[in-house]
C-alpha cells in the first residue's frame, strides 16, 4: 500500500485503547489555547498552535458517515473517500502520490459509521504545497472510472476476506443479528451488492454532499501562526455554499429497539477451534451512563488483567483468548465479549462469561477498582494524543460529534462521578438480554 494513500476504517468512536499511567487532572488544560472560528457558511475551524513539534496536522472531518449511505448503495461513503486521491482536474492519481511522497507528506482518508475525514500531516516548509494538493483533491476530484473499478474490486475482496476469517465473520454475524435493519449492522466497507451498485456519477454527487459546509469541522494543530493561517483557511473555505441539490439522499434514521429476549445463532465451520461472541445493549457515547460502561468494560475484558482473561483463560483454562469491547457509537451501542476456545469447553466457557457479566449487577465494583480503570483511561488518553495529528483528530471529533472541543479537557474528569452504585444500576439496566453468535465445527 502506498504510504501517501491510506484509508482508515474507524469502526468505533473510541479515543483510548492502550494502557496508561498516573497523571494529574488539574494540570491538563489542553484546549485553553484553541481558537474556534465558525464561518458564515457553517464550517467550524479549530486552531491550536503547538510549536513543540515541527509538524502541521490538519483534520478535515465531515459528519457524514457510512450509516448515511443511501439504501442499496452501502459502501458509497467508503468508495467516495477512497477515490478522492484517484485524480483531479489538475493531477493524475499517480502525480498526486508522487508529489506527496517527494515531500514526505502523510495523507490519509477515513471512513467510519458516524463520520468521514481527510487527514494531512506535513512540515511547515512544505505546508503551502501540501495544502494546495489537499484543496485540489477536495474541490477538483474527477473520480476516474478505471480507478473506481479497481478500488471496487479491491474493496469487495477485502470484504470477502473479512467474511472468510472466522474471528471477523463472527463479529459481522453478531452485528447483523444485534442491529437487525439498522445500518450499524454493516461494516464501513458496506456490502458486496452495494459496492457493485455504486457508479461514478454517485461518487461525484455524494462527494458534494459529504463536503457541504454545514457538515464540516476543520482542526489544525502544529507549528504555525494563527494570524497567518486563519486568513488562508477563510479564503479557501469561506465561499463554499450549502447548495447540495443532488438526487442521492442520506438514508433516513432507522428506528431501533434493543432486543427484548436472548437471541443466539450457530454457524458451523470445519475448524479445530470454537468461537463465541456474546453482546448486550450499551449506552451511546453521549449518554450519562457511558462512563460507568467504560469502567465495566475495562474490568470485564480490557486487557490481560481483566476478569475474562484471568478467570476464564488463566485460572480455568477455558479459552485461548477472552476480551470485551464497548462499542460506543453516536447511536445505539453495544458491549460485546469474544472468546476463542475448544469445542468441548464452549458451553462451560459461555456459562462463565454470563456469570462474569451478571456479577456487575449483583456485586458492583469497589471504589478502588473504579479508580484503577480511571487512571488507565486517563493515561491512555494522554498517550494517544501525543502527536499533532491525533490532537487534531481528537479536537475535530469532539466538536463534530456534539460534545464540543472543550470536552477534550473534560474527559480527564469523565470518571470522577462514577460510584459503585452506578455500576450496579447500569449493569442491571443493560445486561438483561444477550445476543450471541457461535462458530463450531
The CATH number given to whatever domain includes residue 319 is 3.30.830.10
Q: Are 269 and 167 in contact (CB under 8 A)?
A: no
d(CA 56, CA 122): 5
135 and 34, same structural domain?
A: yes
367 and 268, same structural domain?
A: yes
d(CA 214, CA 42): 5
* pLDDT value for 14: 30
Decide if 246 is inside a domain: no
Percent of residues, the chain, with pLDDT higher than 90 = 80
What count of other Cβ atoms lies within 10 Å of the Cβ of residue 189? 22
d(CA 6, CA 2): 7
* Band (378; pLDDT cuts 50, 70, 90): confident
* pTM of the full structure: 0.88
39 exposure class (CB count in 10 Å sphere: 0-12, 13-18, 19+):
middle
Q: Among residues 187, 221, 237, which one ends one of the domains?
A: 237
Buried-exposed string 124-141: b where 16+ CB fall within 10 A, e elsewhere:
eebbeebbebbebbbeeb
Given a cut of 80, whether residue 21 has pLDDT beyond it is: no
Decide if 258 is inside a domain: no
> Which residues lie below 8 Å from residue 416, measured CB to CB, with a gap of 6+?
25, 374
394 and 352, same structural domain?
A: yes
Given a cut of 50, whether residue 260 has pLDDT beyond it is: yes
Given a cut of 80, whether residue 9 has pLDDT beyond it is: no
* pLDDT value for 28: 61
pLDDT digits (tens, 9 = 90+) for 279-324: 999 999 888 999 999 999 999 998 888 999 999 999 999 999 999 9
Decide if 135 is inside a domain: yes
267 and 230, same structural domain?
A: no
* pLDDT value for 7: 42
Given a cut of 90, whether residue 149 has pLDDT beyond it is: yes
200 and 86, same structural domain?
A: yes
* pLDDT value for 58: 98
Mean pLDDT, residues 34-58: 95
Beta bridge partners of 87: 92
287 and 218, same structural domain?
A: no
Which one, of 15, 60, 13, 14, lies nearest residue 382 by Cα?
15
pLDDT digits (tens, 9 = 90+) for 63-76: 999 999 999 999 99
Given a cut of 90, whether residue 15 has pLDDT beyond it is: no
Q: Among residues 237, 272, 293, which one ends one of the domains?
A: 237
Domains in the chain: how many in total? 2
338 and 193, same structural domain?
A: no
Given a cut of 90, whether residue 269 has pLDDT beyond it is: no
Given a cut of 70, whether residue 206 has pLDDT beyond it is: yes
Mean pLDDT, residues 91-109: 92
188 and 125, same structural domain?
A: yes
14 exposure class (CB count in 10 Å sphere: 0-12, 13-18, 19+):
middle
Decide if 250 is inside a domain: no
223 and 333, same structural domain?
A: no
* pLDDT value for 304: 87
* Band (352; pLDDT cuts 50, 70, 90): very high
Decide if 249 is inside a domain: no
* pLDDT value for 22: 31
* Band (207; pLDDT cuts 50, 70, 90): very high
Which one, of 394, 410, 129, 440, lies nearest residue 290 by Cα?
410
330 and 192, same structural domain?
A: no
Mean pLDDT, residues 155-176: 93
Decide if 242 is inside a domain: no
How many whole angstroms from its chain centre is CA 202? 24
pLDDT digits (tens, 9 = 90+) for 208-234: 999 999 999 999 999 999 999 999 999
* pLDDT value for 52: 85
Q: Which residue is associated with the grid cell 454527487?
A: 205
205 and 282, same structural domain?
A: no
Sheet of 6-10: strands edge to edge?
Answer: 6-10, 106-112, 116-122, 56-62, 216-222, 44-49, 34-38
* Band (271; pLDDT cuts 50, 70, 90): confident
**Phi and psi at residue 222, in whole multiples of 5°?**
155, -160
The domain of 200 spans 6-237
Q: Which three cell numbers stand for residue 87?
A: 485524480
Q: Which three cell numbers stand for residue 175?
A: 452485528
Decide if 297 is inside a domain: yes
387 and 271, same structural domain?
A: yes
Mean pLDDT, residues 239-255: 93
Decide if 21 is inside a domain: yes
d(CA 122, CA 128): 10
Which one, of 3, 112, 117, 119, lies nearest residue 55 by Cα?
119
Amino acid at each position: 500500500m502506498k504510504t501517501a494513500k491510506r484509508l482508515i476504517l474507524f469502526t468505533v468512536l473510541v479515543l483510548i485503547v492502550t494502557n496508561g499511567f498516573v497523571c494529574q487532572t488539574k494540570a491538563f488544560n489542553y484546549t485553553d489555547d484553541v481558537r474556534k472560528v465558525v464561518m458564515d457558511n457553517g464550517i467550524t475551524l479549530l486552531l491550536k498552535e503547538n510549536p513543540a513539534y515541527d509538524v502541521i496536522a490538519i483534520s478535515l472531518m465531515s459528519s457524514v458517515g457510512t450509516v448515511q449511505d443511501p439504501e442499496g448503495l452501502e459502501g458509497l461513503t467508503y468508495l467516495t473517500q477512497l477515490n478522492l486521491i484517484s485524480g483531479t482536474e489538475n493531477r493524475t492519481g499517480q502525480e498526486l502520490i508522487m508529489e506527496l511522497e517527494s515531500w514526505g507528506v502523510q495523507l490519509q482518508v477515513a471512513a467510519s459509521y458516524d463520520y468521514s475525514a481527510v487527514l494531512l500531516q506535513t512540515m511547515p516548509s512544505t505546508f503551502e504545497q501540501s495544502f494546495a494538493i489537499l484543496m485540489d483533491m477536495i474541490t477538483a476530484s474527477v473520480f476516474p472510472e478505471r480507478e473506481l473499478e479497481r478500488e471496487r474490486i479491491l474493496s469487495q475482496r477485502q470484504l470477502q476476506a473479512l467474511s472468510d476469517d472466522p474471528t471477523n465473520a463472527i463479529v459481522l454475524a453478531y452485528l447483523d443479528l444485534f442491529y437487525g435493519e439498522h445500518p450499524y449492522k454493516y461494516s464501513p466497507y458496506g456490502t458486496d451488492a452495494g459496492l457493485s451498485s455504486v457508479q461514478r456519477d454517485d461518487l461525484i454527487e455524494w462527494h458534494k454532499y459529504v463536503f457541504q459546509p454545514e457538515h464540516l469541522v476543520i482542526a489544525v494543530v502544529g507549528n504555525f501562526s494563527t494570524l497567518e493561517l486563519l486568513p488562508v483557511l477563510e479564503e479557501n473555505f469561506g465561499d463554499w455554499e450549502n447548495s447540495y441539490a443532488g438526487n442521492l439522499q442520506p438514508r433516513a434514521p432507522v428506528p431501533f429497539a434493543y432486543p427484548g429476549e436472548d437471541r443466539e445463532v450457530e454457524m458451523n465451520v470445519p475448524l479445530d477451534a470454537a468461537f463465541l461472541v456474546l453482546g448486550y445493549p450499551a449506552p451511546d457515547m453521549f449518554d450519562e451512563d457511558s462512563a460507568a460502561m467504560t469502567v465495566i468494560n475495562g474490568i470485564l475484558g480490557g486487557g490481560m488483567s481483566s476478569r475474562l482473561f484471568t478467570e476464564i483463560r488463566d485460572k480455568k483454562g477455558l479459552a485461548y483468548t477472552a476480551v470485551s469491547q464497548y462499542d460506543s457509537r453516536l447511536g445505539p451501542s453495544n458491549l460485546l465479549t469474544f472468546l476463542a476456545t475448544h469445542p468441548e469447553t464452549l458451553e462451560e466457557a459461555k456459562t462463565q462469561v454470563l456469570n462474569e457479566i451478571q456479577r456487575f449487577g449483583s456485586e458492583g465494583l469497589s471504589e478502588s477498582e473504579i479508580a484503577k480503570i480511571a487512571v488507565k483511561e486517563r493515561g491512555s488518553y494522554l498517550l494517544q494524543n501525543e502527536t499533532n495529528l491525533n490532537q487534531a483528530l481528537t479536537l475535530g471529533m469532539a466538536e463534530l460529534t456534539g460534545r464540543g472541543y472543550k470536552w477534550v479537557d473534560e474527559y480527564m474528569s469523565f470518571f470522577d462521578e462514577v460510584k459503585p452504585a452506578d455500576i450496579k444500576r447500569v449493569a442491571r439496566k443493560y445486561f438483561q438480554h444477550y445476543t450471541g453468535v457461535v462458530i463450531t465445527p
